[in-house]
Amino acid sequence: MFNHIVIGSNDIERSKQFYDAVLGTLGFSGEPLRHVAASGHKRLFYRHDGGTLGISEPINDEPAHCANGGTIAFKCTSAEQVKEFHDVAVAHGGKSIEDPPGERDGGLLGKMHLSYVRDPDGNKLCAVWRVAA
């Protein structure tokens, strides 16, 4: 359904260090594509498994801030990967939020393992692995 997601950053190099480490837990390797927009704003594009996550200095020159109520969820392949995503994020400047990583009953969505963190700019990230029914 989605082609790409772009979030703002107030410090591209800090974001690069964070996302290099965190996305590495999901199998991303190598360097993100660096881009400078015609406006001079710096961007990073992480391409993996058919999707792209963009990190950008805000084009309107206002400070980057998180979307209230917004969450970006990353698909994991195991409960262990959910926990690793969380722990690596926290070790690289993220903040653990909500309940500790672990199994949740998603009601109609079934059982899943989840962890939630905020990146250094406050964007809410989720790691999720759905338990096979």
What mean pLDDT do residues 89-118 have? 92
Q: In this predicted structure, which of 17-26, 56-65, 102-111 has the lowest mean pLDDT?
A: 102-111
* pLDDT value at residue 89: 98
DSSP 84: H
pLDDT exceeds cutoff 90 at 73 = yes
What mean pLDDT do residues 62-78 have? 92
Sheet with 72-75: strands ordered across: 72-75, 124-130, 111-118, 95-105
Give kind and range of the element (H or E) at residue 44.
strand 42-48
Parallel, antiparallel, or unpaired for β 95-105 and 4-8? unpaired
* Cα distance between residue 11 and residue 41, in whole Å: 11
Model pLDDT for residues 25-62, shown as the tens digit of each residue:
999 999 999 999 999 999 999 999 889 999 999 999 99
This prediction has a pTM of 0.91
Which residue matches tokens 């672990």? 102
pLDDT exceeds cutoff 70 at 133 = no
